[in-house]
Chain A
Amino acid sequence: MAREFIKGNEAIVKAALLAGCRAFYGYPITPASEIAHAAAKYFPRLGRTFLQAESEIASIQMVYGASACGQRVMTASSSPGISLKQEGLSYLAGSELPCLVVDIMRGGPGLGNIAPEQSDYNQIVKGGGHGNYKNIVLSPNSAQEMCDLTMLAFELADKWRNPTVLLADGYIGQMMEPVDFPEAVLEVPEKPWALQGEAADADRLINSIYLVPEILEDHNRQLQRKYAKIEEEEVRYEEYLVEDAELVLVGYGIVSRILRSVVERARGEGRKVGLLRPITLFPFPKVRLRELAEGGTAQVFLVSEMSNGQMVDDVRLAVAERIPVEFYGRMGGCVPSVEEILEVVGETVRKHGATV
């Protein structure tokens, strides 16, 4: 094991190289630029490609080209830049090309600010570009997970031939923590569909255009079947003291770290509060949420996000009004404090007459 005290943004780059990533195509934007800086430093050292593209749009299209040739490839940006990449993401999804896109979310809409927000949930988890597609979305909450989920993202992207997004925020990116990097480097699987610059290419085509409506519908149906399988096989989440919890907090990314402290404080006061943290945002742990709502001790969910409430919609869909779902959000780069959420926990308990 190789342990290093490192910023999450840098851990991503080292993990990507260990995962066999061959190319990084980027464009500067705060607060994701540190990823490009680290990539510019390390990729050339290994004889791999780092290129600062002319735009966010170009960088995702370079990713499209590299992925079509079977390379593990990535780009990284932040919210306004991700908006520009949505065209490319739709094409990657349509052509079923694997890649890693890192989104270090910042405040919006428009230019917003460079402080951390989680307001890209909808544009990443729900699509964002045109067409009936899904990204696989992973949400790290520590520097260690910036490493682990980066590596997992490449594996899942190749396994499912699907773009994968690491959805983090400025806080997780800026934070330094110890990271245990694995000793082994990942093997990249054979990709018999990829262009190789060889005679076999004549039978291969990377494409997202299907002029005949029925054929395009078939293509879409096949994509939906793939997404359904991903939902069956790839759901990941973490629970903290939910077994007997009467109020279950739900949050991802930096918010889940704050919620963990909320649980500790609430338990210290004898309150039965637990935490469910989705690690995959698509696929979303909806089955587990439904179980908690149906058969468990949970009487109410409290969802917290640094947004106007985007993931909460998915929690509500999963829970389907079996028990109440409350929401507490901050926006504009304001990070909720432990005390602030503890107060909301108190209000929620009073409002719903829970026994917590």
Chain B
Amino acid sequence: MAKKILRKPAGFYDVFERKPGDQLTTHYCPGCGHGNVHKLLAEAVVDLGIQDRTILVSPVGCSVFAFYYFKTGNIQVAHGRAPAVATGIKRALPHAVVVSYQGDGDLAAIGGNHILQSANRGEQITVLFINNAIYGMTGGQMAPTTVLGMRTTTTPYGRKVNNEGPPIRVVELLSSLDGPAYLERTALWDNKAIRRTRTAIRNALQCQIDGLGFSMVEILSPCPSGWKLNPDEAHEWMRENMAPVFPPGLKKDVRAEREPFFPEKRELTAEEIRAAVDLQIEEPTPYPSELVKPEYADPAIKLAGFGGQGVLSAGAILANAGMEQGFQTSWIPSYGPEMRGGTAHCFVHISRHAIGSPTVSNPDVLVAFNRPSLEKFEPELKPGGLLLYDSTIIDVTPKRTDIEVLAVPATGLADELGFSRMANTVMVGAYVAKTGILSREAIEQTLPLAIKRQNLVETNRKGLARGIEFVEGLES
């Protein structure tokens, strides 16, 4: 006997080549609602003239193979994640019409947060939500929409309010959000209901085409196999058991109030991209071949003090200026277990060579801004190393005799300038003047880069100058 091929909507492939076995019929059971909804969707994308730009997101569930049928863009996704994937698609291709096709376990259980959040973002996608009160494909287990008392393979004694709780009404839930533009519940139990479903699907798609926001249709749909009923009984069962819990109707429609939104597409030149990410082209400086004071070359510096004393930014100023002068530099804040104890510290390397470990156990230089830092870190300093400390606020003197010590009344000097919080840049100035490792110009030039609050750059410059003058005064 010749096979009778029913006329299919142009929204479907002529032959379902992706389907193993029979490629002329669908894999759905007789009486299943997916067949109706597929047909309504396929006709709608053709009639609305959006077939070429429609992308259908196939979920996990009985409609996992929706991509067998729709002659559109197709993507298959993980269980429950369709709205998240659809978000990525729509943001990438704003002109596309993105349809997320989901069942009740997929959408309301494992994907519950994704549907909630994408609806709330007003994501410009359309969701068709097939509510058949059961997990069909995995063998008739309870879904979030299973009605009370209903027997499923995981509620063999019926769903109980005290164990599983009552069913979730998804469109009502989403209608309390400001994000969605169009939410309707329809059913498939008779021709009239199917006609309303047809209209609702078209409204939802048009909502997306018009750029008005998130749209969704929840469709009460028969699962005769899962319910162990024949198709006619299934329709009757829906009316009796689902209609009271999930009343059909328009739950939200604010399309008329919405301004259309279509993101603008921008193509930038390389130059515009660099400018947008704050990168300026410049030739790197080679580092000075001769250092003013070779004994202070390639230092590993530890700067330490209380949080808020500007310890980390003092280090960043030094490292940044080092880079400007062509050195290899690194800066790393105290991190991991070292973060405890109320002191902040950082390591800075300024080197003519590649820098290995950014931290060191025995630094060449210690800059101590408070007493705990001096007491804790003085013993770590390398023999012959250099110690600078703020002698205004540290009321003890260093103990070691095998190191070089420079007491800088940094807070006092900063106070004289009227900016006591500039003690850190005073200390930077003192270090630079003492070691000659960096030029004053380089430091001044990089201050605006290392200091976040630009209105403080000028005062920092004064602090720096004061530190330099202090050391020059000692040496002259």
- The residues of A that contact B361 with a CB separation of less than 8 Å are 337-339
Complex Cα–Cα for A338 and B284 (A): 31
Find out whether the CB atom of B356 lies under 8 angstroms from the CB atom of A260: yes
Partner of A22, one of B84, B92, B117, B329: B92
From B64-72, B186-194, B201-209, give the one contacting chain A: B64-72
Q: A2-B281, A183-B281 are in contact. Are A47 and B264 (CB under 8 A)?
A: yes
Asked if A323 lies at the interface with its beta carbon under 8 angstroms from chain B, I say no
Partner of B113, one of A54, A181, A202, A264: A54
Find out whether the CB atom of A261 lies under 8 angstroms from the CB atom of B449: no
Q: A22-B92, A184-B270, A197-B55 are in contact. Are A61 and B281 (CB under 8 A)?
A: no
Nearest-Cβ distance from residue A178 to partner chain B, whole angstroms: 4
Asked if A201 lies at the interface with its beta carbon under 8 angstroms from chain B, I say yes
Q: Beta-carbon contacts of A1-44 to B below 8 Å, as 1s and 0s?
A: 11111000000011001100011010000000000000000100
Known contacts A23-B88, A197-B73, A262-B356; 14 additional CB pairs below 8 A are A4-B279, A13-B277, A45-B277, A47-B265, A51-B87, A54-B116, A58-B87, A63-B88, A171-B335, A184-B270, A197-B97, A199-B52, A201-B74, A261-B356
Complex Cα–Cα for A136 and B451 (A): 38
From B216-224, B240-248, B316-324, B381-389, give the one contacting chain A: B316-324
Partner of B283, one of A1, A116, A334: A1
Asked if A278 lies at the interface with its beta carbon under 8 angstroms from chain B, I say no
Partner of A47, one of B67, B114, B268: B268
From A65-73, A291-299, A344-352, give the one contacting chain B: A65-73
Find out whether the CB atom of B281 lies under 8 angstroms from the CB atom of A197: no
Complex Cα–Cα for A116 and B361 (A): 18
A17's closest neighbor in chain B, by CB?
Answer: B277
From A150-158, A207-215, A227-235, A281-289, give the one contacting chain B: A207-215
Complex Cα–Cα for A260 and B284 (A): 25
Asked if A303 lies at the interface with its beta carbon under 8 angstroms from chain B, I say no
Count A-side interface residues using an 8 Å CB cutoff.
85
Q: A65-B86, A201-B55 are in contact. Are A335 and B75 (CB under 8 A)?
A: no
Partner of B91, one of A2, A64, A66: A66
Find out whether the CB atom of B88 lies under 8 angstroms from the CB atom of A66: yes
Asked if B330 lies at the interface with its beta carbon under 8 angstroms from chain A, I say yes
- Which of B97, B279, B328 is the most central at the interface, judged by chain A CB atoms within 10 Å of its CB? B279
* Size category, B interface: 35 or more
Find out whether the CB atom of A62 lies under 8 angstroms from the CB atom of B85: yes
- The residues of B that contact A111 with a CB separation of less than 8 Å are none
Complex Cα–Cα for A54 and B87 (A): 12
Complex Cα–Cα for A197 and B89 (A): 9
Q: A197-B93, A338-B360 are in contact. Are A14 and B279 (CB under 8 A)?
A: yes
Q: Beta-carbon contacts of B35-78 to A below 8 Å, as 1s and 0s?
A: 00000000000000001110100000000110100011111111
- The residues of A that contact B114 with a CB separation of less than 8 Å are 54, 58, 61
Find out whether the CB atom of B264 lies under 8 angstroms from the CB atom of A334: no
Find out whether the CB atom of A62 lies under 8 angstroms from the CB atom of B88: yes
Asked if A98 lies at the interface with its beta carbon under 8 angstroms from chain B, I say no
Q: A115-B336, A176-B330 are in contact. Are A71 and B273 (CB under 8 A)?
A: no
Partner of B117, one of A58, A211, A339: A58
Asked if B185 lies at the interface with its beta carbon under 8 angstroms from chain A, I say no
Find out whether the CB atom of B277 lies under 8 angstroms from the CB atom of A42: yes
Nearest-Cβ distance from residue A247 to partner chain B, whole angstroms: 17
Asked if A241 lies at the interface with its beta carbon under 8 angstroms from chain B, I say no
Find out whether the CB atom of B330 lies under 8 angstroms from the CB atom of A205: no
- The residues of B that contact A67 with a CB separation of less than 8 Å are 88
Q: What are 12 A-B contacts with C-beta separation under 8 Å?
A: A1-B283, A1-B284, A17-B273, A63-B88, A95-B76, A116-B335, A176-B316, A177-B355, A195-B73, A197-B52, A334-B336, A338-B357
Q: Beta-carbon contacts of A225-261 to B below 8 Å, as 1s and 0s?
A: 0000000000000000000000000000010011111
- Which of B77, B116, B117, B283 is the most central at the interface, judged by chain A CB atoms within 10 Å of its CB? B77
A341's closest neighbor in chain B, by CB?
Answer: B357
Partner of A58, one of B55, B81, B265, B270: B81
Q: A64-B77, A69-B89 are in contact. Are A334 and B319 (CB under 8 A)?
A: no
Nearest-Cβ distance from residue A28 to partner chain B, whole angstroms: 15
Partner of B53, one of A55, A198, A204: A198
Complex Cα–Cα for A199 and B95 (A): 13
Partner of A181, one of B266, B279, B335: B279
Partner of A260, one of B331, B336, B354: B354
User: Which B residues lie at the A interface, using CB under 8 A?
Assistant: 13, 18, 20, 51-53, 55, 64-65, 67, 71-78, 81, 84-93, 95-97, 113-114, 116-117, 264-266, 268, 270, 272-274, 276-284, 316, 319-320, 323, 328-333, 335-337, 354-361, 446, 449-450
Complex Cα–Cα for A59 and B72 (A): 25
Partner of A46, one of B74, B84, B266, B282: B266
Complex Cα–Cα for A335 and B77 (A): 40
- Which of B85, B113, B270 is the most central at the interface, judged by chain A CB atoms within 10 Å of its CB? B85
Count of A-B residue pairs with CB < 8 Å: 244
Asked if A91 lies at the interface with its beta carbon under 8 angstroms from chain B, I say yes
B116's closest neighbor in chain A, by CB?
Answer: A54
- The residues of A that contact B89 with a CB separation of less than 8 Å are 65-66, 68-69, 195
Nearest-Cβ distance from residue A297 to partner chain B, whole angstroms: 22
Find out whether the CB atom of B20 lies under 8 angstroms from the CB atom of A49: no
Find out whether the CB atom of B276 lies under 8 angstroms from the CB atom of A46: yes
- The residues of A that contact B446 with a CB separation of less than 8 Å are 5
Nearest-Cβ distance from residue B321 to partner chain A, whole angstroms: 9
Complex Cα–Cα for A3 and B88 (A): 33
A215's closest neighbor in chain B, by CB?
Answer: B20
A210's closest neighbor in chain B, by CB?
Answer: B20
Asked if A81 lies at the interface with its beta carbon under 8 angstroms from chain B, I say no
A256's closest neighbor in chain B, by CB?
Answer: B356
Nearest-Cβ distance from residue A37 to partner chain B, whole angstroms: 14
- Sorted nearest first, the 10 A-B pairs with minimum C-beta distance are A65-B88, A197-B96, A261-B356, A201-B73, A47-B266, A115-B336, A260-B356, A61-B84, A62-B88, A69-B92
Complex Cα–Cα for A254 and B335 (A): 13
Partner of B74, one of A176, A205, A208, A335: A205
